[in-house]
């Protein structure tokens, strides 16, 4: 009698295992331990990636049975038109197109809040219509295509997309199919938009960005990557200053100016996340005035900022009492002296990203009890999408 009793005492319900697994960064290996762990991890899975090699016949089972709690779908490197209209076998072995299956399921309740279409081949207006038909209730849309030109997608197609996705709150868009007019149309007909991420190409100008910003008065997160802000137009600066609710600004790998940063500092005192990763064209004066005014910054990314030196970091750290994360990787002039100032003056700092861990810990070590200082190489695996199986 003692053996069964012992087993009962050691038994943990699935809810307990789920709580434990949620703290683990990698859950894939857990599914190999037992069928029970496989079932538990299947329930915890929230995203699914579909590649060209994914057997489409398995999709209904994967989406609606094996992974019942999916909220995010990632589709990569495929023709959307062929993907949605290709016939597949359902659980009762009847033929149905993926489009019809998605529409049928969507009428009751669509499980997906976020859809990613990465590097789609030759995207067209018809593809955008299919997205609306199959995923009309999504809140986040990430779409990129560098194998299409602006003639493949028309203003009418973008208008149909933005009007059809009535719950859209976040959009990530990049590729040659987008230009000024399409960007403005997308923002104009998406009244709930709060977060916009744009990777700029030759068809987007400062005028287009300024016009788009004016359509998004509720924007809280704005990201424009690989753009030339060097010769700032008054219209662009005025539009950025109009985003009174913005708390997150990302200008990664863009050419910016001190004038732009100073203009932002005048109104965006509530800025909490600032990303100037790989930016060029500005210097210490711009970032000094911005951080002097915006003292609520919690996340600061200054990766590959060439001019930064220890004395700059020592001075800036005095304004960063709310800082929790900072990225100084590839800032070659910063030594342990600057890092030590950060740990002394930023009491909430718990994550510092550097190219290499500090070489000497004599002065800095005693301030780092709660600080995670990690090598950039270790972090490159963060955020990788799970495969489809």
Determine the pLDDT at residue 32: 65
Distance CA 22, CA 84 (A): 33
Of 287 and 125, more confident: 287
- Phi-psi bin for 383: left (phi > 0), alpha (psi -120 to 50), beta? left
Q: What percent of the chain has pLDDT over 90?
A: 42
Q: Does the pLDDT value for residue 386 go beyond 50?
A: no
Q: Does the pLDDT value for residue 363 go beyond 50?
A: no
Going by C-alpha positions, the residue among 211, 259, 218, 258 that lies closest to residue 239 is 211
CATH architecture of the domain formed by 11-44: Up-down Bundle (1.20)
CB 168 within 8 A of CB 141: yes
CB 98 within 8 A of CB 86: yes
pLDDT band at 28 (very low <50, low <70, confident <90, very high): low
Q: Is the dihedral of CA 105, 111, 112, 117 positive or negative?
A: negative
The alpha carbons of the chain give a radius of gyration, in whole angstroms, of: 24
* Residues shown for the chain: 389
Distance CA 114, CA 233 (A): 34
pLDDT band at 47 (very low <50, low <70, confident <90, very high): confident
Domain ranges of the chain: 11-44, 45-219
> Which of 5-9, 39-43, 236-240, 306-310 is predicted with the least confidence, judged by mean pLDDT?
5-9
What is the β-pairing status of strands 351-354 and 325-327? parallel
**pLDDT tens digits, 129-183:** 888 887 888 899 999 887 766 678 899 999 999 999 999 999 999 888 889 999 9
Q: Does the pLDDT value for residue 379 go beyond 60?
A: no
Instruction: Please give the CATH topology (third level) of the domain spanning 45-219.
Output: 3.80.10
pLDDT band at 24 (very low <50, low <70, confident <90, very high): confident
As a three-state string, the secondary structure of 167-220 is CCCEEEEEECCCCHHHHHHHHHCCCCCCEEEEECCCCCCHHHHHHHHCCCCCCC
Determine the pLDDT at residue 83: 65
**pLDDT tens digits, 214-261:** 998 789 999 999 998 877 778 888 888 888 889 999 999 999 999 999
Determine the pLDDT at residue 221: 95
Of 376 and 54, more confident: 54
Q: Which residues contact 335 (CB under 8 A, 6 or more apart)?
A: 310
Of 32 and 211, more confident: 211
Contacts from 1-4 at CB under 8 Å and sequence distance 24+? none
Find the distance separating the first CA and the last CA of the chain, reported in whole Å: 42
Determine the pLDDT at residue 40: 77
Distance CA 62, CA 387 (A): 12
**pLDDT tens digits, 313-338:** 999 999 999 999 999 999 989 999 99
Residue 362 burial class via C-beta count within 10 angstroms: exposed 0-12, middle 13-18, buried 19 and up: exposed
Mean of all residue pLDDT scores within the chain: 80
Of 270 and 30, more confident: 270
Determine the pLDDT at residue 382: 38
Determine the pLDDT at residue 352: 93
Going by C-alpha positions, the residue among 83, 114, 120, 77 that lies closest to residue 99 is 83
Q: Which residues contact 28 (CB under 8 A, 6 or more apart)?
A: 41, 386
Q: Does the pLDDT value for residue 8 go beyond 80?
A: no
Overall average pLDDT of the 28-48 stretch: 77
Instruction: Tell me the longest C-alpha to C-alpha distance in the chain.
Output: 82
Of 110 and 75, more confident: 75
């Amino acid at each position: 009698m003692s053996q069964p009793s012992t087993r009962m005492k050691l038994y943990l319900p699935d809810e307990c295992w789920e709580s434990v697994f949620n703290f683990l960064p990698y859950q894939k290996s857990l599914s190999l331990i037992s069928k029970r762990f496989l079932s538990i991890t299947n329930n915890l899975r929230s995203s699914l990636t579909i590649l060209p090699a994914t057997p489409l016949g398995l999709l209904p089972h994967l989406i609606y049975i094996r992974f019942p709690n999916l909220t995010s779908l990632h589709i990569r490197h495929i023709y959307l038109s062929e993907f949605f209209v290709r016939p597949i076998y359902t659980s009762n072995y009847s033929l149905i197109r993926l489009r019809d299956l998605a529409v049928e399921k969507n009428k009751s309740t669509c499980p997906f809040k976020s859809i990613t279409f990465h590097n789609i081949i030759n995207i067209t207006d018809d593809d955008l219509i299919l997205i609306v038909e199959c995923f009309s209730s999504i809140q986040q849309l990430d779409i990129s295509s560098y194998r299409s030109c602006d003639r493949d997608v028309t203003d009418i197609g973008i208008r149909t997309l933005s009007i059809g996705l009535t719950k859209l709150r976040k959009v990530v868009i990049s590729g040659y199919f987008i230009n000024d007019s399409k960007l403005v149309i997308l923002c104009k007909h998406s009244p709930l938009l709060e977060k916009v991420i744009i990777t700029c190409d030759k068809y987007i100008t400062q005028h287009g960005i300024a016009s788009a910003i004016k359509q998004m008065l509720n924007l809280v997160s704005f990201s424009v990557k690989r753009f030339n802000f060097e010769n700032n137009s008054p219209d662009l600066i005025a539009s950025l200053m109009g985003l009174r609710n913005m708390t997150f600004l990302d200008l990664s790998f863009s050419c910016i100016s001190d004038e732009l940063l100073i203009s932002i500092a005048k109104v965006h005192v509530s800025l909490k996340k600032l990303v100037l990763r790989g930016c060029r064209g500005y210097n210490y004066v711009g970032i000094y005035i911005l951080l002097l005014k915006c003292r609520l910054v919690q996340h600061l990314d200054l990766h590959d900022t060439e001019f930064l030196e220890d004395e700059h970091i020592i001075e800036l750290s005095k304004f960063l009492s709310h800082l929790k994360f900072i990225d100084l990787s590839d800032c070659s002039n910063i030594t342990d002296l600057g890092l030590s100032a950060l740990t002394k003056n930023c009491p909430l700092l718990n994550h510092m990203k550097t190219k290499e861990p500090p070489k000497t810990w004599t002065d800095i070590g005693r301030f780092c009890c709660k600080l995670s200082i990690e090598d950039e190489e270790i972090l490159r695996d963060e955020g990788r999408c799970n495969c489809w199986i």
